Structure 1
């Protein structure tokens, strides 16, 4: 039987066990901060607070905030499902790859800004680029067209994701609010002086029709049809 400690003796202080840090755990914490508070909050100090440690301890695993952003981007890029390239289905596969990419980026507001500010070069981003370029070549696009198309589509994804997250984070986030704002904007265009803005007035209706899904699918069709047309012209 264990004896009780004498009442005049102070019990030893129990030191909290410090969490073992790694690059993976730092990125995990940074992604949590990003999802909860946005990109501006992702600083070395704030991530250190999330990990209940000092900022200096993070620099053992991550060089600086820029590298942390690149690691976040690559982690999120790894969430994008990649198809097994099929020459018979290359066009639909690349469309689905773009849909999935935009959806994943939009689920982590702030990642789109990172992608547009740097050239993705992590292993997950490289696998995605390899898949995309392989699909473009399978579609018969010449190498130069495929290479430049990869750049074009690489900008299209974060731009589309950024647009989606902007609507999520302002006062037009619900379908009703979006419909109300759209009606106001349509009315504004229609009320412009027709002698100065005849085309805007004429297109006030068409410019404000269609939901985000319809517009996104239209963009995909235009992009892919345009690439095929360029490939035929240059081959």
Structure 2
């Protein structure tokens, strides 16, 4: 095993990039610890306890082993974050870029990413704090960039649009997961209903907040993913295509 973490990550990436050679090993009596099993266990922790509960020690406990067994396959918590985001990206289906429907294709791909993030509360924090280098994460970036370019978007604009859209999806999912976490822990005293918000807005001093009072209904409107759909459509709709 290479001592250098960078070499270890590169070797793991190479294993994902190339199919393993031919022979079929006999099933071991006890499943060995692997990067895939570590990722599976980490996702279970996040799905049931939230991202804040994710530690190397907690994942080791799920696998009924010690933390040192995990460090033979991952470098640190940041390395695990990369594996987690890559696993989610592996589930995203990318379409063949179509110049006639590229905007809708972008909306569909980002809706997939949104739903995967919402399935694992708090996991967008991992995505926001890393530079993508895993092949699966790069595959999704490549696919989105291909859609933008197929729509005739200029390369520099396409590159920054990719970044802006991905950042928004991560932030949106993180906000939703934080709200969900507060409700699960009964810390919902700061979570107001729409009616409560409207009451507060309309009770503001009219001389200082005339527009907030008048448009309280508009400011608090939207259900489900209405605001998500609006924002993505707003960004994508203002991209100049062919």
Q: In which range does the TM-score fall when normalised by the shorter chain? A: 0.7 to 0.9
Q: In 1, Cα distance between the equivalents of 2:94 and 2:77?
A: 28
Distance 1:105 1:198 in 2: 38
Displaced runs of 4 or more, over 6 A: none
CA contact (8 A) 2:198 2:220 kept: yes
Aligned to 1:130: 142
Aligned-residue RMSD, C-alpha = 2.0
Counterpart in the other structure of 1:207? 219
Q: Equivalent of 2:230, from 198, 207, 218?
A: 218
User: Is the 8 Å Cα contact of residues 194 and 220 (structure 2) preserved in structure 1?
Assistant: yes
Residues in 2 aligned to 1:20 and 1:57: alpha-carbon distance in whole angstroms: 10
SS in 2 for 1:227: coil
Q: 2:54 aligns with which of 30, 42, 59?
A: 42
| Range with bigger deviation, 212-221 or 58-67 | 212-221
**Distance in 2 between residues matched to 1:40 and 1:209, nearest whole Å:** 30
Task: Give me the TM-score of the superposition, normalised by structure 2.
Answer: 0.81
- CA offsets 1:50-73 (integer angstroms, 9 cap, x no match): 111111111100111110111111
Pick aligned residue for 1:68 from 70, 74, 80: 80
Equivalent in 95, 98, 110 of residue 86 of structure 1: 98
Q: CA deviation at 1:164?
A: 2.5
Task: Quote the residue 1:10 is aligned against.
Answer: none
Structure 1 residue ranges without an equivalent (≥5): 1-16, 173-178
Task: State the match for 1:194 in structure 2.
Answer: 206
Aligned length: 209
Q: How big is each residue's C-alpha offset from its partner over 1:164-184, in whole Å with a ceiling of 9 and x where there is no partner?
A: 223333339xxxxxx971100
Which structure has the bigger radius of gyration?
1
SS at match of 1:189: helix
Task: Pick one of 125, 128, 131 that aligns with 1:116.
Answer: 128
TM-superposed CA distance for 1:195, in Å, is 0.3
Cα deviations by residue, 1:173-232 (Å, 9 ceiling, x for unpaired): xxxxxx97110001100110010111211211111122132222211221112223xx69
1:160 corresponds in structure 2 to 172
Mapped to 2, the partners of 1:216 and 1:53 lie a distance apart of: 41
Distance in 1 of aligned mates of 2:228 and 2:56: 36
SS of aligned partner of 1:137: helix
The CA deviation at 1:18 is 4.7
Task: List gaps (5 residues or longer) in structure 2.
Answer: 1-28, 185-190
CA distance in 1, matches of 2:34, 2:195: 51
Q: Which has the higher contact order (CA 8 A, sep 6+)?
A: 2
Q: How many angstroms does 1:142 deviate by?
A: 0.6
Equivalent position of 1:7 in the other structure: none
